[in-house]
């Protein structure tokens, strides 16, 4: 970062690009708020998405006043609003088990099979996704969920439903929304991209 500031002092584009490449290679070592500030100051978009995603993944109380000053109010408000939307989406996924559209032929008791599926979803995915003390990602929650006992569900119904959940990527909507907001912010806040970076 110091090299970057020096490059601006000496108006050197090459040094600036070199410094940005060096930061890009070690981007996970930097505070994401610093990276957002850097993107805004040096008109580069390349680090914005990664830094923004890392900020969205943080708890709001982990973001300090100094971080807010660095990233700016617009970015901070967008993060706070996004976290609300993502939390709502997580609740919907946790509390709305996918329906069993069709039971396999050797499912002896479809009613009982469905009841067990819903109960295990509630007690499994519901608990894993909504546990405030230990928030798991969807992938982590699913991994724990598929290891549970599925009561009297027919083996074929259970496998089909687990595959359905695995393929559905229930959090995809959330991830796309984060990308959409980040793109809007980049287009609004960073007028000129340094194309050569
Ligand atoms: Zn069944």
* Tokens describing residue 151: 């009561």
- Report the candidate in 86, 90, 94, 92 with the shortest Cα–Cα distance to residue 56: 86
Per-residue burial over 149-177, b = 16 or more CB atoms within 10 Å of its CB, e = otherwise: ebeebbeebbebbeeebeeeebbeebeee
Could you tell me the distance, in angstroms and rounded to a whole number, from the CA of residue 127 to the centre of ligand 1? Answer: 23
d(CA 4, CA 23): 9
Q: In the predicted model, what is the mean pLDDT of the chain? A: 87
CB contact set of 157 (below 8 Å; sequence gap of 6+): 100, 103, 104, 107, 113, 117
Is it the case that residue 195 has pLDDT exceeding 90?
Answer: no
State yes or no: pLDDT of 128 exceeds 80. yes
At 53 the pLDDT is 93
H or E element that contains 11: none
Residues that place a CB less than 5 A from ion ligand 1: 103, 107, 113, 154, 157
**What pLDDT is stored for residue 51 in this prediction?**
95
Measure 91 CA to ligand 1 centroid, in angstroms: 26
Q: Ligand 1 centroid vs 142 CA: distance in angstroms?
A: 20
Given this model, what pLDDT does residue 197 score?
39
* Interval 86-111: pLDDT, tens: 989 889 989 989 999 999 999 999 99
User: What percentage of the chain carries pLDDT values higher than 70?
Assistant: 90
Q: What is the pLDDT of residues 39-90, one digit of tens each?
A: 998 888 889 999 999 999 898 999 999 999 999 999 999 999 999 999 898 8
Task: Quickly state the pLDDT bin for 196 (edges 50, 70, 90).
Answer: very low
The residue written with tokens 């359905």 in the block is: 164
Q: What is the pLDDT of residue 118?
A: 96
Q: How confident is the model at residue 29 (pLDDT cuts 50, 70, 90)?
A: confident
Each residue's pLDDT tens digit, 130-161 = 987 777 888 889 999 999 999 999 999 999 99
Distance 37 CA to ligand 1 centre (A): 54
């Amino acid at each position: 970062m110091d090299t970057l500031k020096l490059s601006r002092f000496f108006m050197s584009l090459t040094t600036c690009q070199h410094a940005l490449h060096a930061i890009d290679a070690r981007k996970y070592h930097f505070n994401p708020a610093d990276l957002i500030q850097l993107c805004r100051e040096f008109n580069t978009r390349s680090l914005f998405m990664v830094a923004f995603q890392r900020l969205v993944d943080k708890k709001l109380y982990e973001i300090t006043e100094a971080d807010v000053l660095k990233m700016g109010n617009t970015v901070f408000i967008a993060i706070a609003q996004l976290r609300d939307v993502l939390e709502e989406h997580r609740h919907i996924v946790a509390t709305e088990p996918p329906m069993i559209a069709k039971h396999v032929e050797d499912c002896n008791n479809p009613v009982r099979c469905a009841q067990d599926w819903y109960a295990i979803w509630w007690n499994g995915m519901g608990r894993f996704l909504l546990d405030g003390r230990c928030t798991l990602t969807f992938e982590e929650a699913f991994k724990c969920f598929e290891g549970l006992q599925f009561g009297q569900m027919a083996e074929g119904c259970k496998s089909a439903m687990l595959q359905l959940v695995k393929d559905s990527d229930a959090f995809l909507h959330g991830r796309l929304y984060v990308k959409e907001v980040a793109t809007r912010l980049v287009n609004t806040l960073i007028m000129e991209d340094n194309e050569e970076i």
